[in-house]
């Protein structure tokens, strides 16, 4: 094993939901490791900063307005990019939504929006990408963004937890099914990271104090903390790892 095993030079990666937060941090980390990118978000204009920062690193960046709940647009986006790039080596299923709600107040529209984005959209992105990867001798690597709620119950996050628990099961099932096509499927479970999606929690100082007391490293995750895990699972350094979910949580799960 050498440092070169972590290099993504010559690789092409797709990152969904890459306009901000962890998705943007992941895209930047992959570009730092040598990959060229296709980044998606619901609004193309929101991707301008991500593209500028990737291109400033000397990497190519293709952007696409794409809603992961629109299944037809997944095929269209991927086909257009694959035709341009020639191959797809890495997919990071990052796009996701959350809305805090007491379980007795959850309604059908909320349930469908979260499940369709976090679980259904991730599956069909993985399916479309795997069809492309299966035609490549090199295969590929798919990384799904799970969550602490893939492992533990979090009050007021039942639809989100259901979607992320389903995503963990999907990761394991696809890993076993697609291994013969040289496609690895793994996941990352971020702990408590302060992002636009989770900002409402962090406005509560009492909540922050309670959470920090439960995290052995006594700090919240920062954008830079996610990149190494993604590079590892996307690269040849993890060539014999599939069906695994790596928590990036400051020791939270290990301590409960």
What are 97-146's pLDDT values in tens digits?
Answer: 999 899 999 999 999 999 999 999 999 999 999 999 999 989 999 999 99
Domain ranges of the chain: 3-255
The pLDDT score that the predictor gives to residue 197 is 75
Q: Which residue has the tokens 């989770």?
A: 198
d(CA 80, CA 64): 10
Report whether 115 contacts 159 (CB < 8 A): yes
Which is it for strands 12-15 and 140-145: parallel, antiparallel or unpaired? unpaired
Strand partners, 36: 12
The pLDDT score that the predictor gives to residue 118 is 98
DSSP alpha helix (H) spans, the chain: 21-32, 48-56, 71-85, 108-115, 121-134, 158-178, 199-202, 205-214, 224-234
The pLDDT score that the predictor gives to residue 196 is 77
Catalytic residues: 160
Q: Which residue has the tokens 């963990």?
A: 168
The pLDDT score that the predictor gives to residue 212 is 95
User: pLDDT under 70 in the chain at which residues?
Assistant: 1-2
Give, in words, the CATH class of 3-255.
alpha beta
The pLDDT score that the predictor gives to residue 129 is 97
d(CA 179, CA 184): 6
Helix (H) / strand (E) element for 245: namely strand 245-248
The pLDDT score that the predictor gives to residue 158 is 97
């Amino acid at each position: 094993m050498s440092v070169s095993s972590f290099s993504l030079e010559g690789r092409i990666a797709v990152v969904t939901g890459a306009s901000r937060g962890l998705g943007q941090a992941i895209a930047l980390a992959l570009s730092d490791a040598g990959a060229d990118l296709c980044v998606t978000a619901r609004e193309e204009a929101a991707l301008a900063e991500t593209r500028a920062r990737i291109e400033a690193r000397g990497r190519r960046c293709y952007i696409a307005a794409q809603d992961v709940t629109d299944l037809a647009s997944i095929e269209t986006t991927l086909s257009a990019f694959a035709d341009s790039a020639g191959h797809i080596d890495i997919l990071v299923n990052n796009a996701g939504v959350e809305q805090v709600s007491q379980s007795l107040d959850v309604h059908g529209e909320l349930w469908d929006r979260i499940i369709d984005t976090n679980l259904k959209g991730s599956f069909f992105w993985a399916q479309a990408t795997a069809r492309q990867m299966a035609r490549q001798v090199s295969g590929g690597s798919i990384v799904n963004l799970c969550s602490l709620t893939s492992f533990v119950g979090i009050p007021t996050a039942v639809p989100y937890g259901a979607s992320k628990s389903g995503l963990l099961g999907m990761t394991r099932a696809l890993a076993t099914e697609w291994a013969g096509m040289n496609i690895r499927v793994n996941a990352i479970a971020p702990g408590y990271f302060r992002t636009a999606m989770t900002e409402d929690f962090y406005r509560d100082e009492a909540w922050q104090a309670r959470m920090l007391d439960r995290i052995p490293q006594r700090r919240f995750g920062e954008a830079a903390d996610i990149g190494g895990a993604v590079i590892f699972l996307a690269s040849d350094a993890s060539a014999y790892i599939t069906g695994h979910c790596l928590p990036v949580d400051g020791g939270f799960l290990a301590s409960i």
